[in-house]
């Protein structure tokens, strides 16, 4: 059977432009089908946040339509929100049972997020050498080597909700929102990180507002840092470009000096990759950085050629026109709109949805309410189809049983005239089996009533109905247990940690539940990365009942 190809859209949003990349995963690998760029309208984005949602939504919708990308396409969006905290966390030797709460407490210590309604996510990264210790200057997560290191990202929740809402109104089905640094790493992993297992790899991405730096040791993320770029370093003039280059060299040297002290045995084995995204470095930036850093294995890429370090192949880049194409005669045609530049971030984002991820870094900051709305629409459609199928099966089953019974009776009467035989007894046994099946189906409502009435002090029908109404669409209950005491234990799977927290809050507000507490929550790698949870609920039993709380005298 021929493998069905899949497509996904990556959308990179920065202060001055929007970039799209539509990828298809086929038998020959990743194919770049379409690429598009468009300048952000003036006033739509300010200080790294969406300022005018209507203007931004119109620009994104127009870019999608002009690129002939259909509405409802699966999309991964780069995080556009400030402030953002991205850091490596080293749990203590005794890892807390509730890792999610531990990470939340650690991230909320960041001064930049004080007073904000935080949304966060994290993933596990493999530990490096056990001889290392915490701290790189004032940076949390520099190089501690305790087991189960975590990469966490956090930002202001309402800003991310606004980003997801605007992109949804522009006709995109937003499934992933992640920091652009992770998309960069994913896009470059196959060619720049995975083959360099024998040395350290430093990646520095310079944009108009931020400088991202990360270090990989033996293929594992070992260090991450984000720096803001001052206005005078933006590279809008030769003097500014020179200052920006000097700032970049200073940051790289600081990291190299740290590793010379902490890991002198491999401090000379470095591959350094610099990407200038939307900024102008001096014409001799490659040679000047090699001299300032003291390493020959240093390469500078620009917005025009950085995409060549991604896994997509078969295209020759050239400047395109609004209706022009980029491609070769021996490869599929790449539809291009805009200035012809292809964003590696947009490629990395689309790769996330196609599961083409060698880096194994997975952080998703899609707000729970956005995921719940999409899931509710999907669940409603699925539920409607399931109900229709069940009704059809019931009608067919009822009619089939009646028809089969009539046929058996007719065959018995017909054969009874010629005397009993072995075939007659077989028909009688078949009829008895059908009667038993009908009796079992008729008895099921009574069995359900017996279960609901097992605790006279609890109106189970109302309790279970209320729990069902309060269950978020991103949460599934797989098991429900109750002993003699009026306590329920709910277990199941959820899409995110925030969805579980929301579920606990909703249960606590129920008039039938006195209190609800989270017993355990952790990601389950065997369940496609879903979150497995356990919640204890103490029912609000009327006072004076055998299992209730005695009233005050």
Q: Is the pLDDT of residue 165 over 70?
A: yes
Which segment of 98-102, 355-359, 432-436, 549-553 scores lowest on mean pLDDT? 549-553
Q: For tokens 């089939």, what's the residue?
A: 400
Q: What is the tens place of the pLDDT at every residue in 87-103?
A: 898 887 776 677 888 88
Contacts of 125 (CB under 8 A, 6+ apart): 88, 149, 150, 151, 220, 221, 360, 361
**pLDDT-based confidence at residue 320 (cuts at 50, 70, 90):** very low
Return d(Cα 508, Cα 527) in angstroms, integer: 27
Beta-carbon contacts of residue 322 (< 8 Å; ≥ 6 apart): 66, 337, 338
Alpha helices in 170-297 (DSSP H): 180-188, 238-262, 285-293
d(CA 339, CA 20): 12
Least confident of 134-143, 180-189, 279-288, 374-383: 134-143
Do residues 251 and 215 make contact, with C-beta atoms less than 8 angstroms apart? no
Task: Map residue 297 onto helix, strand or coil.
Answer: coil
Residues 248 and 206 sit within 8 Å (Cβ to Cβ): yes
- Threshold 0.75, pTM exceeds: no
Instruction: Give the residue from 62, 79, 65 showing the smallest Cα distance to 14.
Output: 79
Contacts 24+ apart (CB under 8 A), 538-543: 538/486, 538/487, 538/513, 538/514, 539/458, 539/463, 539/486, 539/487, 539/488, 539/512, 539/513, 539/514, 540/510, 540/511, 540/512, 540/513, 540/514, 541/457, 541/458, 541/486, 542/457
pLDDT value, residue 164: 92
Which residues share a beta bridge with 174?
Answer: 75
Cis amide prior to 83 (ω within 30 degrees): yes
Give Cβ neighbours of residue 471 (< 8 Å, ≥ 6 apart): 477, 503, 506
Average pLDDT over residues 29-49: 90
- C-alpha span between 147 and 271 (Å, rounded): 26
Q: Whose CA is closest to 50, among 150, 149, 166? A: 166
Between 483 and 475, name the one with better pLDDT. 475
The dihedral formed by the CA atoms of 276, 278, 283 and 285, expressed in degrees to the nearest 10 = -20
Residue bearing tokens 């980029």:
326
Token pair, residue 118, equals 């935080």
**199-236 residues labelled b (16+ CB within 10 A) or e (exposed):** ebbbbbbbbbbbbbbbbbbebbbbbbbbeebeeebbbe
3-state secondary structure (DSSP) of residue 279 = coil
Angle at 368 between CA 469 and CA 477, to 5 degrees: 45
Bridge partners for 8 per DSSP: 23
Task: Please report the pLDDT score of residue 81 as a whole number.
Answer: 87
| Cα–Cα distance measured from residue 39 to residue 60, given in angstroms and rounded to the nearest whole number | 10
Which H helix or E strand runs over 380?
helix 368-416
> Among candidates 256, 263, 244, which has minimal Cα distance to 297?
256
At 253, is the pLDDT very low, low, confident or very high (cuts 50, 70, 90)? very high
Take residue 21 and report the two structure tokens written for it: 């990349």
Q: Which of 210, 189, 114, 95 is nearest to 154 (CA)?
A: 114
pLDDT tens-digit readout, 113-133: 777 788 999 988 865 444 333
Q: What is the percentage of the chain residues whose pLDDT exceeds 70?
A: 68
> Tokens standing for 240?
């500014």
Q: What does the chain come to in residues?
A: 553
Structure confidence by residue, pLDDT tens digits, 336-387: 555 567 899 999 999 999 988 767 788 999 987 655 445 544 554 455 555 5
* In contact, 536 and 516? CB cutoff 8 Å: yes
Tell me how far apart the alpha carbons of residues 473 and 475 are, in angstroms, rounded to a whole number: 5
Q: How far apart are CA 25 and CA 33, in angstroms?
A: 10
Q: Which of 314-318, 343-347, 367-371, 453-457 has the lowest mean pLDDT?
A: 314-318
- Structure tokens belonging to residue 65: 């339509």
* Residue 497: band (very low, low, confident or very high) from pLDDT cuts 50, 70, 90: confident
Mean pLDDT of 67-81: 91
More confident residue, 405 or 212: 212
Q: Kindly state the average pLDDT of the residues 432-440.
A: 64
Segment 321-350 shows an average pLDDT of 60
Nearest to 64 by CA among 209, 216, 166: 166
- C-alpha to C-alpha distance for 467 and 465, rounded to whole angstroms: 5
């Amino acid at each position: 059977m021929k493998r069905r190809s899949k497509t996904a859209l990556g959308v990179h949003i920065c202060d001055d432009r929007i970039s799209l990349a539509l990828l298809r995963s086929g038998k020959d690998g990743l194919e770049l089908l379409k690429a598009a760029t468009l300048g952000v309208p003036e006033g739509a984005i300010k200080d790294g946040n969406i300022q005018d949602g209507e203007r931004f939504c119109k620009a994104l919708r127009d870019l999608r339509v002009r690129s002939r990308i259909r509405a409802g396409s699966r999309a991964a969006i780069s995080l556009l929100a400030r402030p953002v905290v991205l850091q490596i966390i080293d749990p203590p030797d005794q890892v807390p049972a509730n890792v999610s709460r531990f990470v939340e407490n650690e991230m909320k210590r960041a001064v930049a997020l004080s007073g904000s309604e935080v949304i966060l996510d994290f993933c596990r990264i493999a530990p490096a050498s056990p001889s290392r210790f915490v701290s790189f200057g004032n940076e949390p997560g520099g190089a501690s080597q305790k087991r189960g290191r975590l990469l966490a990202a956090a930002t202001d929740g309402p800003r991310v909700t606004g980003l997801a809402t605007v992109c949804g109104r522009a006709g995109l089905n937003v499934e992933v929102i992640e920091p652009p640094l992770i998309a960069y790493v994913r896009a470059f992993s196959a060619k720049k990180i995975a083959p360099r297992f024998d040395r350290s790899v430093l990646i520095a991405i310079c944009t108009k507002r931020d400088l991202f730096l990360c270090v990989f040791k033996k293929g594992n993320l070992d260090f991450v840092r984000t720096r803001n770029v001052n206005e005078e370093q933006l590279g809008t003039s030769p003097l500014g470009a020179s200052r920006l280059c000097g700032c970049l060299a200073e940051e790289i040297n600081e990291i190299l000096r740290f590793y010379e002290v902490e890991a002198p045995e491999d401090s000379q084995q470095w591959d350094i990759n610099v990407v200038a995204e939307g900024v102008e470095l001096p014409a001799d930036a490659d040679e000047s950085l090699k001299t300032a850093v003291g390493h020959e294995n240093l390469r500078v890429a620009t917005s025009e050629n950085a995409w060549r370090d991604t896994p997509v192949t078969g295209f020759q880049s050239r400047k395109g026109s609004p209706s022009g194409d980029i491609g070769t005669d021996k490869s599929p045609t790449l539809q291009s709109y805009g200035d012809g530049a292809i964003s590696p971030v947009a490629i990395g984002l689309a790769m996330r949805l196609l599961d083409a991820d060698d880096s194994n870094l997975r952080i998703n900051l899609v707000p729970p309410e956005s995921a719940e709305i999409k899931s509710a629409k999907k669940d409603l459609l699925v539920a409607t189809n399931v109900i229709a199928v069940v009704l059809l099966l019931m009608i067919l089953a009822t009619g089939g049983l009646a028809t089969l019974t009539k046929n058996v009776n007719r065959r018995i009467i017909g054969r009874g005239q010629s005397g009993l035989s072995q075939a007659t007894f077989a028909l009688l046994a078949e009829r008895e089996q059908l009667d038993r099946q009908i009796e079992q189906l008729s008895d099921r409502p009574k069995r359900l009533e017996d279960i609901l009435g097992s605790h006279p002090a609890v109106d189970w029908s109302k309790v279970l109905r209320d729990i069902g109404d309060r269950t978020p669409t991103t949460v599934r209950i797989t098991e429900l247990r109750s002993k003699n005491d009026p306590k329920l234990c709910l277990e199941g799977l959820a899409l995110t940690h925030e969805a579980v927290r929301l579920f606990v809050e909703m249960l606590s507000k129920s008039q039938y539940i006195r209190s609800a507490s989270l017993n355990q929550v952790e990601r389950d790698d065997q369940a496609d990365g879903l979150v497995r949870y356990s919640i204890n609920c103490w029912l609000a039993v009327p006072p004076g009942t055998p299992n209730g709380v005695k009233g005050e005298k």
